[in-house]
Structure 1
Amino acid sequence: MSSNTSSVLLNTGVQMPLLGLGMYKLCGSEDVFQAVDAALAEGYRAFDSAAVYGNEADLGQALKKLLPKYGLTRADVFITSKLGPKDQGVKAMDGALHSLSQLDLDYIDLYLIHWPGTQGQDVADQRNPGNRAQSWSALEELHAQGKLKAIGVSNYTPAHMRELIQNCNVRPALLQVEFHPQLCQAELKALCKEFGICFQAYTSLGRGKLVTDPVVIEVAKNCNRTPAQVLLRWAVQQGVSVLPKSVNPDRIKENAAIFDFTLTDEDMDRLSALDCGHRYCWDPSQVV
């Protein structure tokens, strides 16, 4: 799957690549095929989709066609998908099985609850905790059946995580959240470390805004790398896995070149000092 220097051990005992291709807003079979083809060529072995992305079927078809091209099998790649917020609660089992069907796989390596709330319900709706618990129970059942090799959550706050940890039968393998130098998520990272939960980043480049930050640019010049590579390296150097999204083969190649250099402690500290709690995506903190 991946060398130990570029992977992280999940609490299921499986190695997961530190670098994956994010599939958010990758729409249409042609774009998905092009991105997956370029990613496999550059050594990517992890792909992150979701029910709400609308591309699970396209990803599954692309892998079926492309894995033989690169002499790979299903076991050589790590596939993540996520439960749609519309299926939170009573529909969770059907939602997860639909993802499995769309991907046309016998199992999904990692399946996440995408959001702590429920589509169509207010963030303050007191049914949210019960819906989350019901979803997790469904994922635990599918995990026991071997259909979901690992299960986890996305966009959970420290409060949501503590609620889950206290009540689950199967501890989450991973938490995926927005994470970059302007949003260091120290409390969540510490909580995940305490309970042996992998911490994974999305929006590592701040939706393209962080590559123009003066500090990021200066650090990049000092180590003769691109700002994007520096931002991704800042995360993986902390053992945090990243999911940069691109359909551009050159960008995909650039994003993969983050394991052959190291940021100095000073550069790491300078980047971390940018932390100001700024989010480029949704804020889950209001979801009860």
Structure 2
Amino acid sequence: MALSLTSLYQLSNGTTVPRVGLGVYQVPESLEAVALIKRALQVGYRHIDTAAAYGNEASVGQAIRESGVSRKEIFVTTKLRTGKRGYDTTLQEFNESLQRLGLEYVDLYLMHSPYGGSSARLDSWKAMEEVYQRGLAKAIGVSNFGTHHLDELLAHCQVKPVINQIELHPWLVQKKITQYCQQHNIVIEAYSPLAQATKAEDRVVQAIARRHQKTWAQVLVRWSLQRGFIPLPKTANPDRLASNVDVYDFALSDDEMQQLDQLDSDCHICWDPTSEPLVK
């Protein structure tokens, strides 16, 4: 079957997730945010990635309720704020996120970063396991975790993380983390897959885009998909919602993939919690 915007990826716990999601980082809580997310659902997105720290959970929930799309068809992710750690705090934070979203459950709940130290991380994970066992989150995972953080978690957890969401694009391939996750059946989600448009004029990307009569953004999303990641492209421009994910009528050749891989320069556009020491 040909891939499409609604194609699904099965996680290790059996939950399925659409292979492309809409990231809503830096989209302020507003009627414009509601309209943007509703438009995304209209053009075919079925995967929305938010976080408590983004400050727009209420807009996401409102858009879902007003979209006319069945809740069961929409995969919703939110995240535990970095400054909120510990068992009781995590349960409280999750409940507050659920209330802001106005939903009965989320499909994925992530620990937004490894910051806070070993004890706090593990206590928070125990609370997330409880949320999962109660069916309030269909899956749980992490974001911005390095291999050492994952080693620690896997040694202590009862419920294995199904996803690690990290910054990924051709200028930041993060081979060590991605290979580790693949070995442990942890799916990689790629945030900032468009490198926040900072590399839009890159000659290699532009040449490949011209060859396929595609945009630079479409080339980067396609690269992420062919690497086996779940890309989360972000845009505040409703006109680009459909364009960014119009990536299923072409494929990058092995040579083109290699050219893009060779752009890797360990270039973090965002923060880099993956290098955080285990104990502070």
Instruction: Indicate the TM-score class for this superposition, using the shorter chain for normalisation.
Output: over 0.9
Counterpart in the other structure of 2:266 = 277
What amino acid is the match of 1:77? I
Q: In structure 2, what residue type is equivalent to 1:78?
A: F
Q: Which residue of 2 aligns with 1:94?
A: 92
Gaps of 5+ in 2: none
Q: CA deviation at 1:4?
A: 9.5
Query: What does residue 126 of structure 2 align with?
Result: 137
Letter in 1 for 2:54: Y
SS in 2 for 1:201: strand
Q: Offset at 1:3? A: 6.1
What is the percent sequence identity of the aligned residues?
Answer: 40
Query: Which amino acid in the other structure matches residue 76 of structure 1?
Result: E
Equivalent residue number for residue 171 of structure 1: 160
Aligned to 2:235: 246
Query: Which of residues 68, 71, 76 in structure 2 aligns to 1:74?
Result: 71
> May I ask how many residue pairs the two structures share in their alignment?
274
1:198-218 CA deviation, whole Å, 9 max, x = no partner? Answer: 101001111111211111111
TM-align CA RMSD: 1.4
Q: Which amino acid aligns with 1:283?
A: D
- State the one-letter code of the partner of 1:166: A
Indicate the SS of the match to 2:166.
Answer: strand
User: Partner residue of 2:107?
Assistant: 109
What SS does structure 2 have at the residue aligned with 1:242?
Answer: strand
Maintained 8 Å contact 2:6/2:44: no
Q: CA offset at residue 247 of structure 1?
A: 2.2
The answer to whether the 8 Å contact 1:10/1:173 transfers is yes
Question: What code does the residue aligned with 1:97 have?
Answer: N
Q: CA deviation at 1:149?
A: 0.6
Equivalent residue number for residue 125 of structure 1: none
**In structure 2, what is the Cα distance between the partners aligned to 1:182 and 1:247?**
23
2:49 matches 1:52? no
1:64-105 superposed Cα distances (whole Å, 9 cap, x missing partner): 111x2xxx2110100000001121224111111111111111
| Pair 1:15 & 2:12 matched | no
* TM-score, with length taken from structure 1: 0.92
TM-score (norm 2): 0.94
Preserved contact between residue 173 and residue 264 of structure 2 (Cα < 8 Å): yes
TM superposition shift of 1:5? 8.0
Q: Is the 8 A contact 1:44 1:256 kept in 2?
A: no
Instruction: Identify if the C-alpha distance between structure 1 residues 144 and 3 changes in structure 2 by more than 3 Å, giving closer, same or farther.
Output: farther
Following the alignment from structure 1 to structure 2, what is the Cα–Cα distance between the partners of residues 59 and 129?
32
Matched, 1:189 2:178: yes
Name 2:215's counterpart in structure 1: 226
1:133-176 superposed Cα distances (whole Å, 9 cap, x missing partner): 00100000110000011000001111111111111110101000
TM-superposed CA distance for 1:277, in Å, is 0.8
